[in-house]
Amino acid sequence: GTGSNILSALQDLFWVLKSKVEKQLQIISVLQWVLTFLIMGIACTFILMYILCTDCWAIAALYLAWLVFDWNTPKKGGRRSQWVRNWAIWRYFRDYFPIRLVKTHNLLTTRNYIFGYHPHGIMGLGAFCNFSTEATGVSQKFPGIRPYLATLAGNFRMPILRDYLMSGGICPVNRDSIDYILSKNGSGNAIVIVVGGAAESLNCTPGKNSVTLKNRKGFVKLALRHGADLVPVYSFGENEVYKQVIFEEGSWGRWVQKKFQKHIGFAPCIFHGRGLFSSNTWGLLPYSKPITTVVGEPLTIPKIDNPSQKDVDFYHSMYVDSLIKLFDKYKSRFGLPETEVLEVN
């Protein structure tokens, strides 16, 4: 009996230690992505400049020569790596929240798609995990579909960061890149565009479900020009992982944010999550709240080389209706009351 009790105690200790190790690995995996998002581009730029001033300048010079040669690769579908997309670190990243991907309809490999991802949140954590890694099984759920998460083109001017982003299948959110993928890269491509962008990130806060969409019609025009089907995607919980200071319209804080957004492409947000060692302190780590990304039913879009404003408005209204229906259908399944309404701005 004593031996059995000792064995049982050792097993319990093993599972406790394993659980603690896994939690620490989850924290590390999320921390590295947060630091990548916030400082990797600037840090790599300064490091490269520093190396140019040392005895190892030849290494930096070779990389810069390669950068010039490789400059247009992000605009031509990038250079994804299935090895990077399948790193174990992304599974720890997924389990920290956790993040789930829900499929509602099959997607034909003979078509191309534009996924409209909502809401932006602070960092678009659900968009990254679901479509730039294989942690939630996007390739198994949508066989034959190649997702490309579109992000700020300025990120691809940053050394090292650009290569890191491309390895996950991330591309610039500009017309050249999207035109290439949807017209010169065969079929079965899915461009994931976080439609609300920086403007939407300024209003994200826990408990609020709102999207910036009424005047965002460029993605619909692109879909019409290429005959790419539109797919609404809503991520329940994306706004819950960070707390943000919201500046009212007309305030000096909102004025500064809009100036940054206009001239640089992103809006500086004042936000916080939890601390590195305790969930009761403030820090840069997001709160471990579940994020569930639901991929809705595709809207069949005709190919119109020069769509009129009337065409764009018509399919845009269809898309908005489809997004609202998706939200209403799944909101109660993921913790929201039946009375919750999606606010479309």
pLDDT digits (tens, 9 = 90+) for 18-39: 778 899 999 999 999 999 988 9
pLDDT at residue 280 greater than cutoff 90:
no
Confidence of residue 268 (pLDDT cuts 50, 70, 90): confident
pLDDT in tens, 327-336: 999 999 998 9
Residue 199: the pLDDT is 83
pLDDT in tens, 85-124: 999 999 999 999 999 999 999 999 999 999 999 999 999 9
Written in H, E and C, the secondary structure of the chain is CHHHHHHHHHHHHHHHHHHHHHHHHHHHHHHHHHHHHHHHHHHHHHHHHHHHCCCCHHHHHHHHHHHHHCCCHHHHCCCCCHHHHCCHHHHHHHHHCCEEEEECCCCCCCCCEEEEEECCCCCCHHHHHHHCCCCCCHHHHCCCCEEEEEECHHHHHCCCHHHHHHHCCEEECCHHHHHHHHHCCCCCEEEEEECCHHHHHCCCCCCCCEECCCCCCHHHHHHHHHCCEEEEEEEECHHHCCEECCCCCCCHHHHHHHHHHHHHCCCCCCEEEECCCCCCCEECECCCCCEEEEECCCECCCCCCCCCHHHHHHHHHHHHHHHHHHHHHHHHHHCCCCCCCCEEC
pLDDT in tens, 54-95: 999 999 999 999 999 999 999 999 999 999 999 999 999 999
Residues in the chain, overall count: 345
User: How many structural domains does the chain have?
Assistant: 1
Q: Is 297 exposed, middle or buried (0-12, 13-18, 19+ CB in 10 A)?
A: middle
Residue 276: the pLDDT is 86
For residue 167, how many other CB atoms are within 10 A of its CB?
18
| Between 136 and 154, the higher pLDDT residue | 136
Supply the range of the domain harboring residue 133.
Answer: 2-344
* Of 206-210, 245-249, 278-282, 317-321, minimum mean pLDDT range: 245-249
pLDDT at residue 12 greater than cutoff 70:
no
Distance between CA 53 and CA 214 in Å, rounded?
50
Residue 7: the pLDDT is 60
Q: What is the pTM of this model?
A: 0.91
The pLDDT > 70 percentage for the chain reads 94
CB 142 within 8 A of CB 40: no
Residue 194: the pLDDT is 96
| Mean per-residue pLDDT over the chain, rounded | 91
Sign for the pseudo-dihedral over CA of 79, 81, 87, 93: positive
Confidence of residue 45 (pLDDT cuts 50, 70, 90): very high
